[in-house]
Chain A
Amino acid sequence: MGSWGWVLAGACAVAVNGLARHLVLLLGRPYRPEMARPAGSVAQGVLYAFSWGMLPWAKESTRRHMLAYLRGVVFHLGIGAAFLALLVGPWRAQGAGPLRWALVTLSAGGAMAGLGGLLARVVETRLRRLSTPDDFFAVALVSLFTLAAAAAIVVPALVPAFYGLAAATLAYIPFGKIRHCFYFFFARYFFGAGFGRRGVLRWGKVHE
């Protein structure tokens, strides 16, 4: 393993340890499940929360802010692609052409969406006032990481920059706002389970 391998492994260890600490903290808090007789299905609510409920037209808010929501979706797809690019990095030379270009397209698109989001945070008064310094830094860091992922596939000379940004992103995950990637799954579960149990949400759509 080269020196970048050690750096990335170290950053990965920081991320895993940090998120494990968050898991311990979360599980250390009391769990107060609803004990009332259910009126609906927890499973259907959770299914809704992770599928239909994430579609852009499923909620009034995302219908209203369609562009911002889609920007977020593209950004997160790009982040996923960037991590995939990091994972398959050692086999970059053997990688099939279509996979490489899919990764380039997704990461580049994600980077543009991320940088667009950063610009929106600077320009839009509402977003700027809501944001903390951590928000600006986290979006900038992850956008650059995603951009570097795309660039490094096309220009191999940029691989060290990509690895450096990947290490920084990984190491920052447990500390800043990026850790919402971990809490997201719990939040959507609680949302779906709660409203599902009460018979408000069901698979397919909000109960109508």
Chain B
Amino acid sequence: MSESVQRALAAFRRALDRRVLTALEVCARCGICAESCHVFASTGQLQDAPTARSEAVRRLYRRQYDPLGRIFPWWVRAGEATEGDLDALSEAAFATCTLCQRCAMNCPLGVDTALIMKAARAMLAAAGKAPEMLVQLADAAVARGENVQVFREIYREIVADLEQQAQEQLGDPALRISLERQGADILYVALSGAHTIVPAAIIFHAAGADWTLSAFEASNYGVFLGDPEKARAIARRIVDEATHLGVRQVVLTECGHAYAALRWEAPGWFGGEFPFRVRSIVELLAEYIREGRLRLDPSANPLPVTYHDSCNLARKGGLLEEPRVVLRAAVQEFREMTPSRAEAYCCGGGGGLVAVPEYEERRLRAGRKKAEQIMAAGAPLVATSCENCFLQIRDLSSHYGLAVEVTGLMELVVRALLGARARAVRVPALQAA
């Protein structure tokens, strides 16, 4: 047995908790789950069915842990792990499964294939079989946390530019973006790129929120690797920052996996609840709208809009109604995709697939089901609140000729906000005339 296979099996042993063991044991191979997977629904190939995908892990599990698998491996289709098996498993776990859990919702027994695939990712990462790009991105994020002082000074200058942009867009010089301000109510964690900072600054300012910007980005590539150590190291930067600043809430930008990781998984990595709430900006937008803190003019978004539920926010995160509250207030015509909410199809870009260039062809093929849904909705604008979904749907639009624009919820809210402000200025002017 090679050294990498030994490392893989050791990592698998660590990942094998009660939930993973149950998921491995309970499958009856009825195959009913097949079409619930967007990849199988798009390709029709058996190896893309959740059962088939997880059988690749069960094969190794049975050989190690099942008495029948050790004595009569052919009877239960058990097999020794080889380098070739790990390479094949890497394809199944990283290139075709987005960990969306749609199959878990649809399994009559409750098999959670995403959990099995996460365990597979952990063993593959330990064996050096994870996609190089994901490893590099995770390592870069960890390194950034270790050299934060150098980075902070550069970031401060960038933030000053962004503040100016936001002021100009809103037409209000009073708008401020503070970086890591002690005692703020909200610590807002963005992604790299102005598009997640400027609209948020406008919204927070308009709602009168007491907020400050995090020096770190929300994404956590350690989660994609199934590597709990890296995931914890990346999350720790934000946890330490929020604790040090004494904020009451950490608000994450429109990013699905960042929300699922910090909101739901991270407390487990650190041994308990945080002294602050973790929320998505989507929750906050809905809250501001419900409380009447944002005056929106839906006519500023006149085109019909449909919404793609990010798996991490909806099915895995429980944010099912909040985006709809936002859309109903911010756009003139909202059209649901079918199915939606917890039953929504994955777009095919999750689980880190969007970040890995060599998976492009496969993820576009796997997005066919989502492309069909978007076409059926017939709206020229697709809103989503996850960066990976945004990139994937934009690619799907050009690949399948959907001719749709993709946008985030914050962007729609800002347009509606600016529309309402412009109208408020226009109406008194008309009345005076």
Contact = CB atoms under 8 A, between A and B. Distances in A.
Contacts of A184: 26, 109-110
B391 to A, nearest CB: 25
Contact of A198 (B26, B272, B317): B317
Interface in A97-155: 126-127, 129-135
A72 B36 CA distance: 19
A132 B77 contact: yes
A60 B65 CA distance: 33
A9 interface: no
Contact of B273 (A27, A36, A131, A200): A36
Nearest to A198: B318
B61 to A, nearest CB: 12
A175 interface: yes
A130 B52 contact: yes
Contacts of A133: 74-77
B32 A186 contact: no
Given A31-B17, A36-B264, A187 B105 contact: no
Given A31-B18, A61-B36, A190-B19, A206 B31 contact: no
Contacts of A90: none
Contact of B32 (A27, A40, A62): A62
Given A62-B108, A198-B318, A199-B318, A130 B273 contact: no
B343 A180 contact: no
B22 interface: yes
Given A26-B21, A33-B268, A198-B318, A187 B110 contact: yes
A187 B55 contact: no
B76 A132 contact: yes
Interface string B333-353: 000000101110000000000
Interface residues of A, number: 57
B184 interface: no
A131 B49 CA distance: 13
A34 B17 CA distance: 13
A65 interface: yes
Contacts of A186: 18, 22, 26
A129 B46 contact: yes
A187 B22 contact: yes
B292 interface: no
B337 to A, nearest CB: 14
B377 interface: no
Interface in B75-112: 75-77, 104-112
Given A180-B26, A199-B318, A200-B320, A191 B112 contact: yes
A126 B112 contact: no
A168 to B, nearest CB: 15
A191 B110 contact: yes
Contacts of B20: 29
Contacts of B51: 130
Contacts of A39: 318
A59 B278 CA distance: 31
A192 B166 CA distance: 44
B18 A191 contact: no
Contacts of B265: 34, 36
Contacts of A59: 105-106, 108
A166 B292 CA distance: 67
A149 B46 CA distance: 36
A63 B10 CA distance: 40
A200 B318 contact: yes
A183 to B, nearest CB: 4
B193 interface: no
Interface string B304-316: 0000000000111
Contact of A72 (B108, B268, B273): B108
A34 B18 CA distance: 13
Task: Tell me which of B30, B67, B74 has the highest count of chain A C-beta atoms within 10 A of its own C-beta.
Answer: B30
A177 B25 CA distance: 8
A27 B267 contact: no
Contact of A179 (B25, B29, B65): B25
Contacts of B315: 200
Contact of A69 (B32, B77, B112): B32
Interface string A161-186: 00000000000000111011001101
A205 B67 CA distance: 40
B432 interface: no
Nearest to B14: A30
B36 A130 contact: no
16 contacts: A26-B21, A29-B20, A32-B17, A32-B268, A33-B268, A35-B273, A36-B264, A59-B105, A61-B35, A69-B108, A126-B34, A187-B110, A200-B320, A206-B105, A206-B343, A207-B341
